[in-house]
């Protein structure tokens, strides 16, 4: 059963609260780098909320861009890996990352125009009792490998297995990544583009839709809905 | 005999003694130099082991600057390696009359710079103990390398070049090893007997030897060009502003030849001084190398300008941000590069007074390589530090770990050279002999000028 | 003793001119051109003392191995496209640029290795057991003129001719020319 998972982020709804980041950290066993390391640009979070300032007349407004992996269909990170540690999963049409293969050339991170890939600079430790809350569905990455947003592949797999066991197709909204599940205003929407009735399939027809750095030809599957102008916004 | 050739004037035994002085006497100075260099190299190896044990966090790298000093050093040393073999091959093929004393030193420089440079892509791996994942051999991991990655091309090209350069160095050395074999005693005799592989110098051996040397030279030139092109493609294939450029391959090749010629001059000045080869490495060689360096200064400047101009004129936002950072955050680096690569060498090398002064040439060659290091840093770092997404922009500065790699790489190169000069013939004795053999004094009017006999092309076949 | 081992007369000369005279004398004995050679520390131009009429063919072996390397490089990449058809970046599995580059590099590598091996075979290097005629004094500036002869009368005549031309230390040895 083939899928084409995609994410649509509604900038109109995003408040920049950062709950998605926290959810992602909790779900994906992302280590916390600490203040000093974060200052050196070594945050391990798979999802960052970039903040840009925009002048609108008298006011300066913040624009928040939650940036997870774009899961590009023409992902520049994949082609440069010498050991196939990152490749295109044909069943789920996601950009997969195999930690055990990775030798840490960091070429993929250089070639990612969105800079969403993070590298394990250290062997990260989880102090007690934090280690108790590690997610058993996925591994804890060792030092020297790249990692990045997987669209919560463990949840996708779980959903597919359940559907297979029950002998049915996967339902729209059955698989929800941690960020989408947590987002208080519901700005993040996730689903299968091959399912014509799914919510994402409807959303990608929205005229507000845009993709980050579309001119690079990476064909990202994470898309954004533009902020609307007007009263009350 | 009226026309005594220059070789007879020298006397072959004496010639051998002068040229292989480095092999014959081991001075206290040699032990001191080798000891210091070994200590520095060992310290850098220790630092590497420390990095291997703790993690790449000990470097100054970050997101987005995922490549730093180690990659700069890689490009720098591979670039430096470039010229030795290339110059030697070109000089051999064109039968440049002044080539003989330069050949061996240049070829050895290539091999050692490659050995040093080739280490860095492996060291910089996050899991450097798993480097063999990149080698295509059948294995139980069901893992096969991705040939579409420029890093794989790099690995293939550099191993070809290293193998080729070692063969080229060795093959060129065979007649000298034969000479050393017949002069040496003890363990050296055993070593040279093995390495000389029974070369005698019979007429048919010499003929075949020359054909094979020419073949080596012809084959190594395209390999040398391809290697630095591929190193540049590591960058040019990536869609990073400032890297993704079609000019990169020829630009890198030109830059590599530039820094390589400067490296050859540095090494020649050292050899001349340390092994008292003033008689063979004359002002003429430095003058000629200086002219080559001047040519490369101009070519480098031309390439840099044409690359710069495209961005400057079109001002595409992503590229423009990068170029602007040269004027702000990276201004010191940019100025060092511009001064050392162009503003100093260009006028200096135009003056024959500078080209004909060995201390001045030594200084210029060092300045050029400082500039080339800055140039490489300017290619690797700012492009990454000013990525497409401004929210991740960050600076980069090497930590003590990376600085010790810089020191370590220089000392490892020097150490390899010092060991080489002790073990193997550091000057191309038989090429020098042949040159002297073919040189006679010819009287033109009242003046006496040296004249070199050479076969017409094709006649010697 | 290998089959190539023959009786060789060898004499040392100080200058090219003397060596040339000696070679001329040997030729008039008569001895075939291929049985006379010099051993010298610098290459002498062909025809200065002796000339070597045998053609040098080993560059063809190098050319052949260039193609062998090219085929193995292309084969290696094509094989990896077959055994590991992983999609990356939506690009074709069998990709032309890497095939070209790997083919080129392996072709050059094979040619370089072949130059060493073929060169060694052609020169006759690395045959450590072989007993070849030699005199280390060539590194003191002597030129040795050697000729393969029939033992007996011809050997004596050749030795006499070398002595007459000014050869020092003329002697007869068993060995390869």
A105 at B interface, C-beta within 8 A: yes
CA distance C106 to chain A (A): 18
| Percentage of chain B modeled with pLDDT above 70 | 97
Element (H, E) at A7: strand A5-10
Q: Which of B126, B149, B390 sits opposite A104 (nearest CB)?
A: B126
Tens-digit pLDDT profile for residues B154-173: 999 999 999 999 999 999 99
Of B38 and B431, the structure prediction assigns the larger pLDDT to B38
pLDDT tier, C60 (very low <50, low <70, confident <90, very high otherwise) = very high
**Could A79 and C84 be called an inter-chain contact, meaning their C-beta atoms sit closer than 8 Å?**
no
Cβ C11 vs Cβ C162: under 8 Å:
yes
**Could C86 and A76 be called an inter-chain contact, meaning their C-beta atoms sit closer than 8 Å?**
no
**Could C89 and A84 be called an inter-chain contact, meaning their C-beta atoms sit closer than 8 Å?**
no
Query: DSSP assignment, residue B379?
Result: H
pTM: 0.93
Phi and psi, residue B369, nearest 5°: -75, -30
CA distance A138 to chain B (A): 20
pLDDT tier, B397 (very low <50, low <70, confident <90, very high otherwise) = very high
- In terms of CA atoms, which chain C residue is nearest residue A84? C86
**Could A88 and C89 be called an inter-chain contact, meaning their C-beta atoms sit closer than 8 Å?**
yes
What per-residue string of b and e applies to B1-13 under the rule 16 or more CB within 10 Å gives b? eeeebbbeebebe
Q: Which of A42, A84, A144 sits opposite B127 (nearest CB)?
A: A144
A49 at B interface, C-beta within 8 A: no
Tens-digit pLDDT profile for residues C90-109: 888 888 999 999 999 999 99
Evaluate the omega torsion of the peptide bond into residue B64 and state whether it is cis, within 30 degrees of 0. Answer: yes
Tens-digit pLDDT profile for residues B208-242: 999 999 999 999 999 999 999 999 999 999 989 89
Residue ranges per structural domain of chain A: 5-225
C89 at A interface, C-beta within 8 A: yes
Q: Which residues of A touch B155 (CB under 8 A)?
A: 82
Q: Which residues of C touch A107 (CB under 8 A)?
A: none
**CATH T-level fold of A5-225:** Alpha-Beta Plaits (3.30.70)
B48, B54, B57: best to mutate for the A interface, most A CBs within 10 A: B57
Beta bridge partners, C174, equal C7
Q: Which of C86, C90, C91 sits opposite A84 (nearest CB)?
A: C86
**Could A87 and C87 be called an inter-chain contact, meaning their C-beta atoms sit closer than 8 Å?**
yes
Residues 138-177 of C with CB under 8 A from B: 138-141, 146, 177
Beta bridge partners, A189, equal A8
**pLDDT value of position B437:** 85
C81, C88, C96: best to mutate for the A interface, most A CBs within 10 A: C88
**Could A121 and B55 be called an inter-chain contact, meaning their C-beta atoms sit closer than 8 Å?**
yes
Tens-digit pLDDT profile for residues B85-142: 888 888 888 888 888 889 999 999 999 999 999 999 999 999 999 999 998 888 887 7
- In terms of CA atoms, which chain B residue is nearest residue C142? B12
pLDDT tier, B1 (very low <50, low <70, confident <90, very high otherwise) = very low
First-residue to last-residue Cα distance in chain B: 29
Tens-digit pLDDT profile for residues B408-433: 999 999 999 999 998 999 888 888 88
**pLDDT value of position B141:** 78
Residue ranges per structural domain of chain C: 6-52+138-175, 58-123
**pLDDT value of position A231:** 59
- In terms of CA atoms, which chain B residue is nearest residue C78? B147
**pLDDT value of position B460:** 44
Cβ A43 vs Cβ A33: under 8 Å:
yes
A83 at B interface, C-beta within 8 A: yes
B55 at A interface, C-beta within 8 A: yes
Name the nearest CA neighbour of B259 among B86, B44, B37, B70.
B86
Residues 96-135 of C with CB under 8 A from B: 97-99, 101-102, 104-106, 108-109, 111-113, 115-116, 118-120, 122-128, 130, 132-134
**Could C37 and B203 be called an inter-chain contact, meaning their C-beta atoms sit closer than 8 Å?**
yes
**pLDDT exceeds 90 at position B47:** yes
For residues C14-42, average pLDDT: 89
pLDDT tier, B4 (very low <50, low <70, confident <90, very high otherwise) = low
Tens-digit pLDDT profile for residues B177-193: 999 998 888 899 999 99
C55 at A interface, C-beta within 8 A: no
CA distance C68 to chain A (A): 25
Radius of gyration of chain B (CA): 24
**pLDDT value of position C112:** 96
**pLDDT exceeds 50 at position C1:** no
**pLDDT value of position B2:** 39
**Could B64 and A143 be called an inter-chain contact, meaning their C-beta atoms sit closer than 8 Å?**
no
Residues 308-367 of B with CB under 8 A from A: none
| Structure-block tokens of residue B458 | 């094709």
Residues B149, B121: Cα–Cα separation, whole Å: 14
Helix locations, chain A, DSSP H: 19-27, 35-39, 76-80, 107-111, 153-165, 178-182, 199-203
**Could A76 and B66 be called an inter-chain contact, meaning their C-beta atoms sit closer than 8 Å?**
no
DSSP assignment of chain C = --TT-EEEEEEEESSHHHHHHHHHHHHTS---GGGEEEE-SSPPPTTSS----S---HHHHHHHHHHHHHHHHHHHHHHHHHH-----TT--SS-HHHHHHHHHHHHHHHHHHHHHHHHHHHHTTT-TT--B---GGGGGT-EEEEEEE-TTHHHHHHHHHHHHTT-EEEEEEEEB-
**pLDDT value of position B261:** 94
CA distance C34 to chain B (A): 10
- Domain C6-52+138-175 maps to which CATH number in 3.90.25, 3.40.30, 3.90.79, 3.30.70? 3.30.70
Residues of chain A with pLDDT under 50: none
C19, C35, C41: best to mutate for the B interface, most B CBs within 10 A: C41
Whole-angstrom CA distances from B337 to B81, B298, B330, B345, B367 are 20, 14, 11, 11, 10
Q: Which residues of A touch B75 (CB under 8 A)?
A: none
**pLDDT value of position B459:** 45
SS3 A62: strand
- In terms of CA atoms, which chain C residue is nearest residue A112? C89
> Domains in chain B and their CATH numbers?
3-135+144-452 (1.20.1630.10)
Chains in contact with A, where contact means 3 or more Cβ–Cβ distances below 8 Å, are: B, C
**Could B127 and A118 be called an inter-chain contact, meaning their C-beta atoms sit closer than 8 Å?**
no
Q: Which residues of C touch B7 (CB under 8 A)?
A: 42, 141
Parallel/antiparallel/unpaired status of strands C143-149 and C36-39: antiparallel
């Amino acid at each position: 059963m083939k899928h084409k998972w995609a994410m649509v982020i509604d900038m109109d709804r995003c408040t920049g609260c950062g709950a998605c980041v926290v959810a992602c950290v909790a779900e994906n066993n992302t280590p916390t780098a600490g203040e000093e390391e974060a200052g050196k640009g070594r945050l391990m979070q798979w999802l960052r909320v970039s903040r840009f300032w925009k002048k609108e007349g008298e006011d300066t407004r913040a624009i928040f861009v939650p940036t997870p992996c774009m899961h590009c269909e023409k992902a520049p990170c994949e082609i440069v890996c010498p050991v196939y540690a990152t490749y295109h999963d044909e069943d789920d049409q996601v950009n997969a990352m195999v930690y055990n293969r990775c030798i840490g050339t960091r070429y993929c991170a250089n070639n990612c125009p969105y800079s969403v890939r993070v590298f394990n600079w250290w062997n990260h430790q989880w102090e007690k009792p934090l280690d108790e809350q590690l997610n058993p569905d996925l591994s804890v990455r060792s030092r020297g490998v790249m990692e990045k947003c997987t669209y919560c592949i463990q949840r996708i797999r779980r959903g597919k297995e359940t559907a297979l066991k029950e002998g049915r197709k996967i339902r729209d909204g059955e698989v929800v990544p941690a960020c989408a599940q947590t987002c208080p205003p519901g700005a993040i929407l996730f689903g299968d583009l091959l399912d014509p009735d799914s919510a994402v399939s409807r959303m990608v027809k929205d005229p507000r839709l845009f993709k980050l750095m579309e001119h690079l030809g990476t064909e990202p599957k994470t898309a954004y809905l533009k902020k609307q102008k007007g009263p009350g916004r | 005999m009226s026309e005594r050739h220059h070789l007879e004037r020298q006397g072959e035994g004496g010639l051998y003694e002068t040229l292989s002085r480095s092999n014959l006497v081991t001075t206290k100075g040699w032990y001191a130099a080798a000891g210091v260099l070994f200590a520095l190299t060992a310290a850098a190896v220790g630092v590497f082991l420390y990095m291997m044990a703790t993690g790449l966090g000990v470097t100054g790298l970050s997101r987005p600057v995922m490549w730093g000093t180690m990659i700069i050093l890689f490009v720098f040393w591979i670039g430096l390696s470039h010229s030795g073999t290339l110059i030697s091959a070109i000089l051999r093929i064109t039968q440049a009359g002044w080539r003989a004393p330069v050949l061996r030193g240049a070829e050895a420089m290539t091999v050692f710079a490659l050995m040093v440079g080739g280490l860095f892509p492996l060291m910089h791996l996050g899991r450097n103990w798993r480097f063999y994942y990149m080698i295509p051999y059948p294995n139980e991991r069901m893992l096969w390398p991705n040939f579409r990655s420029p890093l794989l091309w790099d690995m293939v090209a550099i191993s070809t070049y290293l193998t080729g350069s070692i063969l080229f160095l060795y093959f060129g050395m065979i007649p000298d090893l034969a000479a050393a074999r017949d002069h040496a005693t003890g363990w050296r005799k055993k070593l040279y007997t093995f390495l000389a592989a029974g070369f005698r110098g019979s007429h048919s051996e010499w003929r075949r030897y020359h054909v094979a040397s020419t073949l080596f030279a012809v084959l190594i030139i395209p390999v040398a060009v391809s290697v630095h092109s591929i190193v540049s493609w590591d960058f040019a294939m990536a869609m990073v502003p400032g890297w993704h450029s079609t000019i990169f391959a020829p630009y890198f090749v030109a830059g590599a030849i530039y820094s390589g010629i400067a490296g050859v001059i540095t090494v020649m000045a050292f050899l001349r001084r340390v092994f008292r080869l003033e008689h063979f490495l004359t002002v003429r060689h430095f003058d000629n190398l200086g002219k080559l360096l001047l040519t490369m200064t101009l070519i480098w400047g031309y390439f840099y300008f044409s690359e710069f101009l495209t961005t400057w004129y079109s001002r595409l936002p992503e590229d423009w941000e990068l170029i602007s950072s040269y004027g702000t955050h990276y201004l010191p680096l940019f100025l060092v590069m511009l001064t050392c690569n162009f503003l100093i060498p260009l006028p200096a090398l135009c003056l024959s007074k500078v080209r004909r002064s060995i201390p001045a040439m030594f200084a210029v060659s060092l300045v050029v390589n400082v500039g080339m290091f800055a140039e490489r840093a300017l290619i690797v770092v700012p492009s990454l530090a000013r990525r497409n997404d401004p929210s991740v922009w960050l600076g980069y500065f090497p930590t003590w770990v990376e600085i010790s790699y810089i020191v370590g790489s220089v000392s490892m190169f020097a150490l390899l050279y010092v060991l080489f000069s002790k073990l193997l013939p550091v000057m191309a004795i038989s090429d020098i002999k042949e040159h002297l053999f073919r040189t006679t004094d010819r009287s033109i009017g009242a003046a006496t000028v040296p004249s070199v006999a050479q076969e017409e092309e094709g006649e010697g076949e | 003793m290998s089959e190539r081992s023959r009786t060789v007369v060898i004499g040392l000369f100080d200058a090219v001119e003397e060596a040339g005279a000696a070679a001329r004398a040997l030729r008039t004995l008569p001895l075939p051109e291929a049985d006379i050679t010099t051993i010298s520390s610098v290459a002498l131009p062909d025809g200065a003392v002796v000339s070597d009429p045998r053609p040098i063919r080993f560059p063809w072996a190098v050319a052949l191995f260039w193609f062998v390397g090219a085929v193995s490089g292309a084969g290696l990449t094509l094989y990896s496209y077959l055994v590991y058809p992983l999609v990356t970046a939506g690009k074709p599995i069998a990709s032309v640029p890497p095939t070209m580059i790997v083919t080129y590099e392996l072709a050059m590598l094979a040619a370089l290795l072949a130059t060493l091996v073929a060169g060694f075979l052609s020169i006759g290097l690395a045959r450590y057991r072989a007993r070849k005629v030699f005199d280390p004094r060539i590194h003191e500036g002597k030129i040795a003129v050697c000729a393969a002869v029939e033992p007996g009368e011809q050997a004596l005549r050749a030795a006499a001719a070398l002595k007459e031309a000014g050869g020092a230390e003329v002697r007869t040895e068993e060995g390869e020319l």
